[in-house]
Chain A
Amino acid sequence: MPLSVLICDDSLVARKQVAKCLPQDWDVDIHFAKHGKEAIEQIQAGKGQILLLDLNMPVMDGYQTLDAIQSGQFTTKTIVISGDIQPEAHHRVTALGAVDFIEKPVNPGELQDVLRQHHLLEMQEPTKENPALPLALQDIYQEMTNVAMGQAGEHLARIMNVFVKLPIPNVNLIEVSEIHMMLKDIESHERVSAVCQGFIGGGVTGEAVCMLSDSSFGDIAKILNIQSSVDDQLQLEVLMDAASVLIGTCLSGIGQQLDISFRQRLPMILGQHRNVSELIDSNLRKWRKTLAIELSYGIEGYDVQCDLVLLFTEESMNTMNMKLAHLLEDDL
């Protein structure tokens, strides 16, 4: 995961302008936020090792943002870029922990100088830490998923005559805010469709989200041997079919190891009937943390990229931990 540079400004023009001023050869991910609140949410989700921050913004201004970063003890390095050139402004942001202050409009040379001066250009990539999930458990979940994936991949490969590039599963305990962002991201991406499907069995409940880039449809139709041309209606169906197969094989692999047979609900296209933000808002209070297993499939020789995320509820983890405990004991 490359370093993330977060540009926070309420003006689209300003955000673009700042992004253009970043050094061309700098290997970073660029993220944007429209105000401080969005920026803090992204920082909480592990983005924004470097923050380029405007001061005058709605919802949460630059000062409040710096304050939140300080009190949240985030390691984000903040450079303030503002039109407010009063000495007092400069003084105040430095007191709030900003590493430097650049006057608007910013130019590439100046920004680069400041970045170099504070050794931000050679800053290391962040290492992902998961203090919440004990390493041994994370290992077990990862292994469980690996085995399930192996079976699923073999099935898929045999049936569809393709080579499935097996993903390395990413197992994490994630906060609600991260899912929030993930779903919002899907919503804002017109070129990605997502299907979600609830599953339940033996005291374990959760939801699977399958995301497919729209460019994959043609190739998936080819793999599934669908002859007719892919129109909108068929596209939805292909998406649901592909999702059922991916989610189903993966779940049955996991279920076998947990000795659980999962029931799956009908798949739904995400956000087709209700706005995603609305869904999230109504669910926000129900839970805080969740176990997420992320898988990213590719199929050799085809332009198919598909991400599968399995989200388990907090309560389910107790059951799963118990069922998997024997693995841990055997290993030690």
Chain B
Amino acid sequence: MSQNSEMLQMHWLMDMVQSVDVGIVVLDRECKIHVWNDFMESHSGLLANTVKNQTLFAVNNDIDKEWFIQKTKPVFDLKVRTFITWEQRPYLFKFPNYRPITGTEDFMYQNVVISALTSATGAVDYISVMIYDTTDKAIAKKQLEALQVHMTENALPVR
């Protein structure tokens, strides 16, 4: 009975991972994909079954392999988190804008957090890559900058 309820819990936990509005990808040391949640499916148009056990670089050949390995190495080796911010690199996965009609940008800006998934033995065999949509922030910043430029250019001369 208790085993059953644990199973149920596991089930809805998985459901949450699937439905959360954040991209979740789990990779092993060879960067083979093990988890690819709903968010990733919806935005990439690739089903989890299609990408599973393929390497990240085979699925997305925009990613510079060497650079990405560099980003994940400390996570595997030191269990630290590493980060990629939209200000440095606008995106890891080139996804279309969430709002195709009223949005102004062509693609989704992303913050990425890479963290270690520790197994029961304490070893790190898998890492999670979380992708957050920061398009709104990026737009707000662009608008602010445009406004600043506009105000400097159209400032009234000081008498």
Contact = CB atoms under 8 A, between A and B. Distances in A.
A97 interface: no
Interface residues of A, number: 22
A214 B63 CA distance: 28
A249 B75 CA distance: 10
A156 B78 CA distance: 8
Contacts of B6: none
A229 to B, nearest CB: 14
Interface string B107-126: 00001010000000000000
Interface string A226-250: 1100000100110011001101110
Interface of A is mostly: helix
B70 A224 contact: yes
B93 to A, nearest CB: 18
B88 A244 contact: no
B73 A159 contact: yes
Contacts of A156: 78
Nearest to B132: A266
A267 interface: yes
A240 B79 CA distance: 16
Contacts of B113: 266
Interface in B93-144: 111, 113
Contacts of A267: 83, 85
A172 interface: no
B21 interface: no
17 contacts: A155-B77, A155-B78, A156-B78, A159-B77, A237-B88, A237-B89, A240-B88, A241-B74, A244-B74, A248-B74, A248-B78, A248-B81, A249-B80, A252-B80, A266-B83, A266-B113, A267-B83
